[in-house]
Chains A and B, each alone.
Chain A
C-alpha cells in the first residue's frame, strides 16, 4: 500500500535534515597527516623501484631496458602481497602513497580478480579484473592517442 503524501513529505523532510546533520558532523580528512603518510610510502616504494633498477642495470640491462623487469618485479610483489592480504593493510595506512605507484595498479587488478573469484573464472575473474584499472587504461590510451597525433602532425609539417 502506498503511503499518504503527507507522511511521505514528512519522511523526506526528516531525511533531508539528517543528511544536513551528517554533513556538518563529518570530520574533515586530516589532510596534512594523510599527505605525510602518502609521501613516505610513495617515496619508499619509488626508492625500492630505484634499487631494483640499479640491480637490473648491474646484471647487464641497459638503463632503458631495466624499466620493464623493474615494473614486472614490482607488480609481482604487489600481486603476491594482495593475495596474502597485506597490501590492503598498507593501503589503509598509506592512502595514495600505495595507490599512485604502479604497485597500486597491480593491487586494483588483483583484488578485483580475487573479489569476484566466486563468480567463476570467466565472468568473475576475467570480467572484473579491470573494473578499477580499466579507466586508467582507457583515459591513458585516449590521452596518449591525441598527444601522439598532435606531436606527429606537428613533426610532419
Chain B
C-alpha cells in the first residue's frame, strides 16, 4: 500500500486544497482544518477514503482529513459489536494515539522549552 510517488502526490494535493481554500475564500486556518476533517469523515462515510489510503498510503493518512476518516472508522467498528452506543465509545479508538501523543509531547515541550520572541 502506497508508494513514495503516490504518497507525495496525494499528500501534496490535499495540502493544495487547503492552501486554495485559505487564499481564495479568506477562511482562517482553523476553518480550513475543520472543513478538511469533516470532509474526511464524510468521504469515509461514502466509502471513498479507504481506496485513497490503499492507493496513497501515508499520502492519505498523514493529512488531517484522515483524522475524520479515523474517527468514523473507530465509531463504526465499535458500533458493529455493541450497537448504537458503540458510536460514542469507539469514536476515539483509532485516533487515540494521535491525540494522546500530541497532548503529551506538547505538554513536555511547553515545560522544557522557553517560548521564542
Kindly report which residue of chain A lies nearest to residue B116, judged by CB atoms: A85
Cβ of A71 within 8 Å of any chain B Cβ, yes or no, is: yes
Contact across chains for B34 and A47 when beta carbons are under 8 A apart: no
Number of CB contacts from chain A to chain B under 8 A: 264
Q: How many whole Å from A63's CB to the nearest CB in chain B? A: 6
- CB-CB contacts of B12-56 with A at 8 A, as 1s and 0s? 111110111111100001101110111011101100000000001
B interface size (C-beta, 8 A) = 77
12 interchain pairs (CB within 8 A)?
A46-B63, A49-B58, A71-B61, A96-B18, A96-B21, A103-B62, A105-B98, A121-B111, A129-B106, A140-B37, A148-B87, A155-B80
**Given A75-B102, A99-B29, 5 new contacts (CB under 8 A):** A42-B14, A136-B30, A139-B37, A144-B74, A152-B84
Point out residues on A near B: beta carbons under 8 Å: 29, 31, 34-35, 37-47, 49-53, 63, 67-72, 74-76, 79-80, 82-85, 88, 95-97, 99-106, 109-110, 113-115, 117-118, 121, 125, 129, 132-133, 135-141, 143-145, 147-152, 155
